[in-house]
Amino acid sequence: MKHVLVLLLAALVMVGHSDAQDRIYRCGNEYTNVAPSPQTKGCKVLEGANVTVVQGTRVAAAAPARSFGASSAGQRVDAAEQKARDSDARQILESELMKTQERQIDLLKEYNNGAPEKRPDEVANNQKYLERVAALKASLARNESDMAGIRRELGRVASTSAAK
């Protein structure tokens, strides 16, 4: 009985292995294991590659984009509601700017003008220290960029509310 199970298992493995070695063709954006006809142009055999194709649903192109709070596209919002939205947006942006500025201060303290204090695990491993210094420098630049973006958005919110 054991021998039959081992043989059956070996046969299943061989069948699965032979399926995995079928040729796969790429014809444009389509992948197939069926050999293309001679009239088909642009088909290439993919060597040594396993292809997994996941079928998904297509996004409906005709679906209108909806904005938050708008009951339907094209409807106007009354001035008081728009003023409240602008005020909320300004408050959110100001709080985000404050958080980002606080983060910048913390990063600057930790960066210590490019010479942060070494951690115990970095004393023996200088490369780890250098990687952390580079990561801190990148975080500082990214945080500075975030602050500039928030300031631009605050300027836009202020200019749109002043124009009305």
pLDDT digits (tens, 9 = 90+) for 92-136: 999 999 999 999 999 999 999 999 999 999 999 999 999 999 999
36 and 83 assigned to the same domain: no
* Cα dihedral 148, 154, 160, 162 in deg (nearest 10): -120
3-state secondary structure of 10: helix
38 and 92 assigned to the same domain: no
DSSP state of 118: P
Q: How many angstroms separate the CA atoms of 148 and 141, rounded?
A: 11
84 and 159 assigned to the same domain: yes
* Residue 5 CB partners (closer than 8 Å, separation 6+): none
How high does pLDDT run on average in the chain?
Answer: 79
pLDDT at 20 over 90: no
Identify whether 71 is part of a domain. no
Identify whether 99 is part of a domain. yes
- Span 53-71, pLDDT tens digits: 667 776 666 555 555 554 5
Q: Which of these, 22, 27, 24, lies nearest to 39 by C-alpha position? A: 27
Identify whether 42 is part of a domain. yes
Q: How many angstroms separate the CA atoms of 84 and 17, rounded?
A: 65
Identify whether 67 is part of a domain. no
91 and 136 assigned to the same domain: yes
Q: Which domain holds residue 24?
A: 2-46
**Angle, helix 126-163 to helix 79-111, in steps of 10 degrees:** 160
Domains contained in the chain, number? 2
